[in-house]
Amino acid sequence: MELRKATISDAPFLQEIIRREFAYALLSPETIVEKLVDERFLVIKAIEGGEFIGFAELDLLNDPARIGVARLNAVFVVEKHRGEGIAIKLVKKILSLAKKQNVVEIFLLVRFDNELAKGLYEKCGFSFEKIYDKKIEGKEVEVWSTPLK
C-alpha cells in the first residue's frame, strides 16, 4: 500500500466517494476539485495495486485568529480494505505532514455515534474536547483534538 498526495486526476473517484459517504456541509463533491489545487488543503490518497482505496483530507485553515490550528475533514477507506490499518496510516501521514507545515494542533468533528471513527482517532492520539454547538443531520457532533509535538 502506498500513500501519495492526491492530484486533480483523482477528482472523479473522490467526488464519487464524497457523494456517497459525506453528504453534509464540510465536504461536497464540487469543492474537492478546488481543494486538490489549493495549498490550504492536504489530500492524501492510499493506493493498492494501482487502485485507489482511501483518502484523508486536512484543512490548514490559515485562520489568523487560530494560528497553527488545522482541521481534519475526512478519512475514508473503501469497504473491501477496512480493518487493515489503512486509516491509521492515512491519519498518521497527515499528522506528520502537518507538523512540517508548522501545525501545532489538529481538531475534527465526529458524530457522537461513529464509534468506529472515534476508535481510529483515539489510536492516532486524538481525544474528546467538547460537544460541538451545532447538530449535523440532526445528530450530536463531538469535537476531538490533538496537539502536535
Ligand X SMILES: CC(C)(COP(=O)(O)OP(=O)(O)OC[C@H]1O[C@@H](n2cnc3c(N)ncnc32)[C@H](O)[C@@H]1OP(=O)(O)O)[C@@H](O)C(=O)NCCC(=O)NCCS
Which residues of the chain form contacts with ligand X (CB under 6 A)? 21, 74-77, 82-88, 110, 114, 116-117, 119-120, 123
Q: Indicate the residue among 37 and 116 with the shorter CB distance to ligand X.
A: 116
CB of 59 to ligand X, least distance (A): 13
Question: Do residues 112 and 77 lie in contact, with contact meaning Cβ atoms separated by under 8 Å?
Answer: no
Q: Which residues of 104-134 are buried (b: 16+ CB within 10 A; e: fewer)?
A: eebbbbbbeeeeebbebbeebebeeeeeeee
Q: Indicate the residue among 4 and 67 with the shorter CB distance to ligand X.
A: 4
CB of 106 to ligand X, least distance (A): 13
CB of 141 to ligand X, least distance (A): 11
Grid coordinates in use for 123?
A: 489510536
DSSP line for 126-138: -EEEEE-SS-BTT
CB of 33 to ligand X, least distance (A): 19
Q: Indicate the residue among 29 and 85 with the shorter CB distance to ligand X.
A: 85
